[in-house]
């Protein structure tokens, strides 16, 4: 894996102005080119990069109003016109990127309206392309793209199969419906199968798929599209006093609207409520089933809208709160093949680090080999990476026009990369024919390792003979071994067999933190495993925890939580058998086992603050009587949080013998230091319940 380098972080709220007028004009021209391509369904840069460019242009105009070009994206609605003249301009929206921006917009709106804005609506910003659909006598007569905002292209024929945009309304009315044509996630997958079946390249992502499809003429096949309305012209007065009522009227006519979508529309009476709803919709972003690139907030009352009015390109009564881009482009550096615990073999993309949806992504799933071949993604390609919500990032496609000539198709492995054995390719998801047994060697050695269950005598050679004799396939099998069976193995005498059985037996007494570490749950290391064990207290609580419960553990976000839940489901049979063999499944001293001790203000442990929060402690060098893991475990037993690196946030560094740079850094940062022997004394005093001595030792270093 490459080191996590800092990816370009796009923060349009703090944009840097251009230095010279020429640079500014060049920026405007670039933005115009990108926007024109975008409205034609072709993506030349990702959204975040475009937004950052527009933000730089706007920042420059703030500094040098005289430089402003009439072609600036801050003034005009970009795009190429067409033959259909719009009944009223199809405007764009101003963007904000954070809560401050949203509150700033509301304050300006308040000023423009001259009184408190009584209601706002909050609805999804659908990531598709805008169209206007005219109905006469309830029949759909014309559908036009937004084009340059004044005129657009006639796409009536192509729009005939768009779900949510009926050919006939439920009443014979004249109305113009405006909204977004887009492709749902499920339709995107289906559309690509259809494309591939017709020998055409896959669509890179849902937005360009929708734009390309609406504007495609004479395609020999149809692919599914959807529509959601967000505005209308010609709504009867009795339904037109608020935006929400107008949308409800459209829904009554049989048109799909943003309010009816999985994202829904909320009416809020204060900007605080709006902020809460924006955050809530952001949290559900990955579960909506279609791409949203933000939230649109509008003044609900038509009277407020009229009072606020319009700028040359956008209404003042509405604003788009843009989410961090969920799709970015980056370079595919390598394709790695991973073999999972059950023998599942999957291709994983290693990427030039890129910020997607607010986090830096360095790897993404390529699903399976069949999919990889279908997508024809190659090393060296510029690829689209999508991370919707908290789901694992995926590659949705490659930019074929930017493919380096040297890029070769990926060659899937012919044998299992871990055990060199045969691969079962009969299913979409390939597996090593040996299944769980393929990873057994690694899993057993990890289980028996010093920092895990610390089973002496269970090294490479013994594990290999156990596997060769077919005596074990997973760690639980170890507990079923007896001396007679082991003594029959090559190079194993009765004495060593007896010792090994005794050591295996003794490991049953190890605390839950060791057991959890030993299971090798993905995305949890030793120190996180200890935190997990302390947090939950028992394996039963760990197994019963939902993703939301996991997020309460320090250091676990929702992405990691999902992986852990899935891993534990996979490990459940092994855990159940370990439990049945009598392996310890509780963590002594966990506050979860003694709920009263966790109350703030009561029973504060030596390395806890008064509010019960842990001090961050680094143990470096060797502490007499403690291995590295034992030192860290002791920190946690004392209520602290062990960390591997010294920073300004470190509360205490335990400096043992032979400590190096970490001790220097502690001195440099003036972090309190405790000598290794003192730490050993502290632990002993705590174990013996000698509170006074504990306090004395700590008083020498902590203020
Ligand atoms: S209202 C006059 N509502 O976003 C108000 N626009 O970036 C016009 N869009 O051009 C827009 N979802 O194509 C509105 N719920 C929504 C929207 C939405 C997507 C698009 C629309 C607009 C663009 C501005």
Ligand 1: which atom is nearest the Cα of residue 258? 15
**CA 15–ligand 1 middle distance (angstroms):** 24
125 is catalytic: yes
Residues 610 and 639 both lie in one domain:
yes
The residue whose CA is least distant from atom 17 of ligand 1 is 125
* 128, two tokens: 């598709």
The conformation of residue 326, written as its DSSP 8-state character, comes to S
| Comparison of pLDDT for 418 and 51, the residue scoring more | 418
* Angstrom distance (rounded) from CA 71 to CA 377: 37
Number of domains in the chain: 6
**CA 319–ligand 1 middle distance (angstroms):** 9
Residue 62 placed within a domain: yes
Strands 225-233 and 162-163: parallel
Last residue of a domain, one of 268, 287, 322: 322
| Comparison of pLDDT for 562 and 598, the residue scoring more | 562
- Asked which of 64-73, 169-178, 336-345 is least confident by mean pLDDT, the reply is 64-73
Is it the case that residue 672 has pLDDT exceeding 50? yes
Ligand 1: which atom is nearest the Cα of residue 95? 7
The residue whose CA is least distant from atom 22 of ligand 1 is 92
Residue 1 placed within a domain: no
pTM: 0.58
Average pLDDT for 262-283 = 95
The CATH number given to whatever domain includes residue 452 is 1.10.150.20
Is it the case that residue 7 has pLDDT exceeding 60? no
The residue whose CA is least distant from atom 10 of ligand 1 is 92
Ligand 1: which atom is nearest the Cα of residue 125? 12
**CA 188–ligand 1 middle distance (angstroms):** 21
Is it the case that residue 359 has pLDDT exceeding 80? no
The predicted structure's pLDDT at residue 599 = 46
Could you tell me what percent of the chain has a pLDDT over 90?
A: 60
Is it the case that residue 597 has pLDDT exceeding 50? no
Last residue of a domain, one of 565, 593, 621: 593
Could you tell me what percent of the chain has a pLDDT over 70?
A: 94
Residue 649 placed within a domain: yes
What is the pLDDT of the chain when averaged over all its residues?
A: 89
**CA 449–ligand 1 middle distance (angstroms):** 57
The conformation of residue 290, written as its DSSP 8-state character, comes to B
Average pLDDT for 628-648 = 90
Which of 435, 117, 493, 387 minimizes the C-alpha distance to 272? 117
**CA 70–ligand 1 middle distance (angstroms):** 22
The CATH number given to whatever domain includes residue 658 is 3.40.50.10190
Ligand 1: which atom is nearest the Cα of residue 231? 1
Q: Mind listing the pLDDT tens digit for each residue in 451-509?
A: 999 999 999 999 999 999 999 999 999 999 999 999 999 889 999 999 999 999 999 99
Residues 471 and 579 both lie in one domain:
no
Residues 448 and 524 both lie in one domain:
no
Ligand 1 mutation pick, 88, 230, 265, 322, max ligand atoms within 8 A of CB: 230
Q: Mind listing the pLDDT tens digit for each residue in 25-68?
A: 999 999 888 887 776 656 677 777 888 888 899 889 888 888 88
**CA 154–ligand 1 middle distance (angstroms):** 19
Residues 677 and 615 both lie in one domain:
yes
The residue whose CA is least distant from atom 13 of ligand 1 is 130
Residues 157 and 277 both lie in one domain:
yes
Residues 338 and 287 both lie in one domain:
no
Q: Which domain holds residue 290?
A: 84-322
Ligand 1: which atom is nearest the Cα of residue 124? 15
Ligand 1 mutation pick, 148, 180, 260, max ligand atoms within 8 A of CB: 180
The CATH number given to whatever domain includes residue 270 is 3.30.470.30
Q: Mind listing the pLDDT tens digit for each residue in 286-303?
A: 889 999 999 999 999 999
Residues 296 and 365 both lie in one domain:
no
Residue 387 placed within a domain: yes
Ligand 1 mutation pick, 12, 310, 320, max ligand atoms within 8 A of CB: 320
Ligand 1 mutation pick, 34, 96, 130, max ligand atoms within 8 A of CB: 130
**CA 400–ligand 1 middle distance (angstroms):** 29
Average pLDDT for 653-658 = 93
Ligand 1 mutation pick, 227, 232, 296, 312, max ligand atoms within 8 A of CB: 296
Residue 499 placed within a domain: yes
Would you tell me how many other CB atoms lie within 10 Å of the CB of residue 217? Answer: 7
Last residue of a domain, one of 274, 302, 322: 322
Is it the case that residue 275 has pLDDT exceeding 60? yes
Phi, psi of 125 (to 5 degrees): -95, 100
What are the angstrom distances between the C-alpha of 445 and each of 23, 453, 458, 528? Answer: 60, 10, 7, 20
Residues 338 and 316 both lie in one domain:
no
The CATH number given to whatever domain includes residue 412 is 2.40.50.140
Ligand 1: which atom is nearest the Cα of residue 93? 24
The residue whose CA is least distant from atom 2 of ligand 1 is 91
**CA 92–ligand 1 middle distance (angstroms):** 7
The conformation of residue 302, written as its DSSP 8-state character, comes to H
Is it the case that residue 316 has pLDDT exceeding 50? yes
Query: What residue spans of 198-288 are helical by DSSP H?
Result: 206-215, 243-253, 271-283
Q: What is the distance, to the nearest Å, from the Cα of residue 553 to the centroid of all Cα atoms in its chain? A: 18
* 70, two tokens: 């009439």
Query: What residue spans of 184-324 are helical by DSSP H?
Result: 185-197, 206-215, 243-253, 271-283, 302-308
Residue 263 placed within a domain: yes
The predicted structure's pLDDT at residue 268 = 96
Residue 78 placed within a domain: no
The predicted structure's pLDDT at residue 703 = 62
The predicted structure's pLDDT at residue 498 = 96
Task: Give the number of C-alpha atoms closer than 13 A to the C-alpha of residue 3, restricted to the C-beta side.
Answer: 2
Q: Mind listing the pLDDT tens digit for each residue in 194-246?
A: 988 888 877 878 888 999 899 887 788 889 999 999 999 999 999 999 999 99
**CA 14–ligand 1 middle distance (angstroms):** 24
- Which of the four pLDDT bands, split at 50, 70 and 90, describes residue 6? very low
Residues 304 and 360 both lie in one domain:
no
Residues 281 and 136 both lie in one domain:
yes
Is it the case that residue 274 has pLDDT exceeding 90? yes
Residues 270 and 339 both lie in one domain:
no
| Residue pair 391/286 in contact by the 8 Å Cβ criterion | yes
What are the angstrom distances between the C-alpha of 48 and each of 8, 286, 396? Answer: 10, 18, 17
Task: Give the number of C-alpha atoms closer than 13 A to the C-alpha of residue 108, restricted to the C-beta side.
Answer: 16
The predicted structure's pLDDT at residue 192 = 86
**CA 348–ligand 1 middle distance (angstroms):** 36
**CA 431–ligand 1 middle distance (angstroms):** 46
| Residue pair 114/294 in contact by the 8 Å Cβ criterion | no
The residue whose CA is least distant from atom 15 of ligand 1 is 125
Would you tell me how many other CB atoms lie within 10 Å of the CB of residue 398? Answer: 23
The residue whose CA is least distant from atom 18 of ligand 1 is 125
The residue whose CA is least distant from atom 1 of ligand 1 is 230
- Of the candidates 111, 125, 510, 662, the residue annotated as catalytic is 125
Residue 257 placed within a domain: yes
The residue whose CA is least distant from atom 23 of ligand 1 is 92
Please give all residues whose beta carbon lies within 6 A of any atom in ligand 1, as ranges.
Answer: 91-93, 123, 125-126, 130, 180, 230-231, 258, 296, 315, 318, 320
The predicted structure's pLDDT at residue 42 = 66
The predicted structure's pLDDT at residue 689 = 77
Tokens 């206007």 identify what position? 132
Residues 290 and 156 both lie in one domain:
yes
């Amino acid at each position: 894996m490459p080191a996590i380098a800092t990816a370009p972080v796009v923060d349009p709220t703090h944009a840097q102005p251009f230095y010279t007028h020429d640079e500014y004009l060049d920026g405007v021209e670039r933005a115009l080119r990108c926007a024109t391509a975008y409205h034609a369904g072709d993506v030349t840069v990702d959204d975040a990069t475009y937004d950052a460019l527009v933000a730089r242009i706007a920042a420059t105009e703030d500094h040098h109003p005289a430089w402003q070009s009439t072609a600036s994206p801050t003034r005009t609605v970009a795009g190429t016109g067409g033959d259909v003249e719009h009944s009223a301009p199809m405007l764009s929206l101003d963007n904000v990127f954070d809560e401050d921006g949203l509150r700033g917009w509301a304050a300006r709106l308040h000023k423009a309206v001259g009184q408190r804005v009584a209601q706002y609506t909050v609805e999804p910003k659908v990531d598709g392309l805008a169209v206007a659909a005219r109905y006469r006598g309830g029949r759909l007569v014309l559908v036009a793209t937004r084009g340059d905002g004044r005129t657009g292209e006639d796409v009536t024929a192509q729009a005939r199969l768009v779900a949510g945009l009926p050919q006939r309304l439920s009443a014979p009315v004249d109305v113009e419906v405006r909204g977004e044509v887009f492709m749902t996630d499920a339709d995107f997958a289906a559309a690509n199968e259809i494309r591939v079946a017709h020998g055409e390249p896959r669509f890179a992502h849902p937005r360009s798929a929708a734009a390309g499809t609406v504007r495609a003429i004479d395609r020999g096949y149809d692919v599914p599209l959807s529509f959601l309305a967000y505005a209308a012209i010609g709504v009867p007065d009795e339904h037109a006093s608020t935006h929400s009522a107008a949308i409800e009227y459209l829904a009554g006519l049989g048109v799909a609207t943003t309010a009816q979508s999985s994202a829904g529309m909320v009416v809020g009476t204060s900007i605080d409520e709006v902020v809460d709803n924006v955050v809530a919709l952001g949290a559900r972003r990955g579960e909506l089933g279609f791409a949203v690139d933000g939230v649109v907030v509008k003044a609900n009352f038509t009277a407020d809208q009229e009072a606020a009015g319009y700028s040359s390109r956008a209404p003042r009564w509405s604003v788009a709160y843009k989410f961090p881009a969920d799709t970015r482009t980056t370079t595919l550096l390598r394709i790695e093949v991973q073999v999972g615990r059950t023998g599942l073999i999957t291709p994983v993309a290693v990427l030039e680090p890129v910020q997607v949806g607010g986090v830096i992504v360095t790897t993404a799933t390529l699903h399976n080999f069949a999919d990889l071949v279908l997508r024809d993604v190659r090393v060296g390609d510029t690829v689209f990476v999508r991370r919707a919500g908290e789901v694992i990032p995926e590659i949705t496609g490659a930019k074929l026009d930017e493919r380096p000539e040297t890029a070769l198709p990926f060659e899937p492995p012919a044998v299992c990369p871990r055990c060199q054995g045969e691969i079962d390719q009969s299913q979409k998801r390939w597996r090593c024919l040996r299944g769980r047994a393929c990873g057994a060697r690694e899993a057993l050695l990890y289980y028996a390792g010093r920092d895990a269950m610390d089973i002496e005598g269970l090294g490479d050679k013994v594990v290999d003979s156990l596997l060769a004799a077919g005596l074990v396939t997973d760690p639980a099998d170890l507990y079923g071994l007896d001396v007679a069976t082991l003594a029959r193995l090559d190079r194993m005498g009765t004495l060593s067999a007896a010792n090994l059985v005794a050591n295996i037996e003794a490991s049953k007494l190890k605390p839950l933190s060791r057991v959890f570490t030993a299971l090798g749950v993905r995305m949890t290391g030793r120190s996180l495993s200890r935190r997990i064990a302390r947090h939950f207290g028992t394996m039963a609580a760990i197994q019963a925890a939902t993703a939301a419960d996991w997020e309460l553990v320090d250091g676990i976000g929702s992405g990691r939580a999902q992986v852990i839940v899935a891993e534990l489901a996979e490990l459940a049979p092994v855990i159940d058998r370990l439990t049945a063999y009598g392996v310890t499944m509780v963590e002594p001293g966990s506050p979860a086992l003694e709920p009263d001790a966790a109350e703030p203000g009561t029973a504060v442990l030596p390395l806890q603050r008064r509010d019960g929060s842990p001090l961050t402690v680094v143990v470096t060098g060797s502490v007499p009587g403690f291995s590295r893991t034992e030192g860290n475990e002791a920190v946690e037993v004392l209520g602290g949080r062990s960390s591997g690196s010294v920073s300004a946030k470190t509360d205490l560094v335990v400096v043992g013998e032979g400590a190096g740079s970490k001790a220097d850094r502690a001195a440099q940062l003036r972090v309190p230091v405790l000598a290794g022997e003192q730490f050993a004394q502290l632990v002993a005093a705590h174990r013996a319940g000698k509170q006074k001595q504990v306090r004395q030792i700590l008083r020498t270093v902590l203020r």
